[in-house]
Amino acid sequence: MSNEEDPVSGDITVTSVEVPELSDEEQRDRLHLERRVERAFFEAGKALMELRDRRLYRSTHKTFEDYCRERFGHSRQKSNYLIAAADVYENLTTICCQNLPPEDLTTNGSQILPTSEGQVRPITKLEPQEQWEVWQQAVELAGGKVPTGRIVKDVVQRIMERTKIPNTYQIGEVCQILTKDNPELRGKGGCWAIVSAVNDFSCTMRVWDGEYTVGLQHLKSHNYLPAECEQMQVICDRINRVYSSGLEESVQRFLESLGKLKRAYLTDLEEKVLSVLELETGG
């Protein structure tokens, strides 16, 4: 566009420039590229999941966390977010989009689907059917467009307020983790964990390799006596110190096995092995 002002009359002359329409081929290319952008977080999450599950990082890194930080420049938590978001995306497409070809499962097709990880983060801990119901409500609130993460979070909050169940867990209580299709808890099914913080709809749990925020539906109390809970707290601290020292994989597997004990004590042999590892690591 160009503007020319007549100094005498003060009128402005506007010269229009015709913008050529996209050809059919260009339109197809645009839609194809848009779909690739929309699915980028899904592809990243699926790739990270395979890298983690097949342990394809093992030739260069001891842990998946180190691999993510050094190879991609982000934390393991970020990878977990992407992995969880990819699962949500698959759930949404599986439940209500089974009759559509994959290339139509985008905002350009007949379904409104997520285009970024942040949009689905609030629903990763819900069951698949609940994820779909929340997503549908969020799309409606967004006027039929892709909702923001804030809108999705608001829908989840409204549902929780209507069906609020009091959190009866107590700090120091020992619970079992139930995965229930929650990808963020993959590998933690059956692990014992200790409540370190009590939230409205979740608990912060200490596990053998760190801390996790776990929804109430993913916890089951072991109903240990107070003395047993205190004993498990000591064991958890000891295991965590040894694990964080970055020993080889075989040692980590042993520590992981201790993290799935169904009893509130170590056997004599387990105690001896853990003590040796503490001496080796200065723990």
**% of residues, the chain, pLDDT over 90:** 36
Q: What is the number of other CB atoms lying within 10 angstroms of the CB of residue 93?
A: 17
What's the rounded mean pLDDT across residues 195-220? Answer: 87
Map tokens 């197809």 to a residue.
28
pLDDT at 165: 66
Q: Which residue has better confidence, 37 or 99?
A: 37
Average pLDDT over residues 192-207: 89
Report how far Cα 4 is from the mean position of its chain's Cα atoms: 56
Going by pLDDT thresholds of 50, 70 and 90, the confidence category of residue 1 is very low
CA quadruple 182, 187, 191, 196: dihedral sign? negative
Q: Quick check: 98 pLDDT over 70?
A: no
pTM higher than 0.85: no
- Burial readout 159-196 (b: 16 or more C-beta within 10 A, e: otherwise): eeeeeeeeeebeeebbbbbbbeebbbbbebeebbbbbe
Contact in structure between 171 and 195 (CB atoms under 8 Å) = yes
Dmax over Cα atoms in the chain, in whole Å? 102
What pLDDT shows up at residue 283?
Answer: 62
pLDDT at 13 over 70: no
Q: Choose between 263 and 38: higher pLDDT.
A: 263
Task: Tell me the pLDDT tens digit for each residue of 209-255.
Answer: 888 888 888 899 998 988 899 999 999 999 988 887 777 888 888 98
Alpha-carbon distance 198 to 205, whole Å? 9
- pLDDT band at 201; cut points 50, 70, 90: confident
Averaged confidence pLDDT in the chain:
83
Q: Could you state, in order of their start, the residue ranges of all structural domains in the chain? A: 24-162, 166-283
- Which is it for the CA torsion 258, 263, 264, 267, positive or negative? negative
Give me the percent of the chain exceeding a pLDDT of 70. Answer: 86
* Predicted confidence (pLDDT) per residue in 126-167, tens digit: 888 889 999 999 999 999 999 999 999 899 888 877 766 678
DSSP SS3 for 77: helix
3-state helix, strand, coil in the chain (%, to 5): 50, 10, 35
Query: What count of other Cβ atoms lies within 10 Å of the Cβ of residue 46?
Result: 17
Phi, psi of 129 (to 5 degrees): -65, -35
Please give the order of strands across the beta sheet that includes 174-177. 210-215, 202-207, 192-198, 174-177, 219-221
The span from the CA of 120 to the CA of 49, in Å, is: 17
Which residues contact residue 269 at a Cβ distance below 8 angstroms, ignoring those fewer than 6 apart? none
The residue whose two tokens read 């749990």 is 205
pLDDT tens sequence across 242-270: 887 777 888 888 988 998 998 989 999 99
Beta-carbon contacts of 34 under 8 Å, excluding residues fewer than 6 positions away, are 106, 108
